């Protein structure tokens, strides 16, 4: 699986590749959001955008 911040509607070049599960991807997204964007916790609407932006 892979995800780019831009796929979730965020103006950011961060991307994750090689993640094997949705749970692991959400954890990576949450850590990145907290450290790079000062978003903690992820709001429900951003969680949905992240899930929609994931590619397998």
Whole-number Å distance between alpha carbons of 33 and 42: 7
- Domain count for the chain, please give it: 1
Share of the chain above pLDDT 70, in %: 100
pLDDT for 8 equals 85
Q: Domain residues for 45?
A: 2-53
Vertex 4: Cα angle to 3 and 8 (nearest 5): 95
List, for residues 8-56, the tens digit of each pLDDT value.
888 999 999 999 999 999 999 999 999 999 999 999 999 999 999 999 8
pLDDT for 33 equals 95
């Amino acid at each position: 699986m892979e995800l780019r911040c831009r796929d979730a509607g965020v103006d950011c070049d961060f991307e994750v590749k090689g993640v094997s599960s949705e749970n692991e991807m959400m954890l990576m997204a949450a850590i990145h959001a907290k450290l790079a964007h000062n978003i903690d916790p992820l709001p429900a609407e951003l969680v949905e955008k992240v899930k929609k932006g994931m590619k397998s």
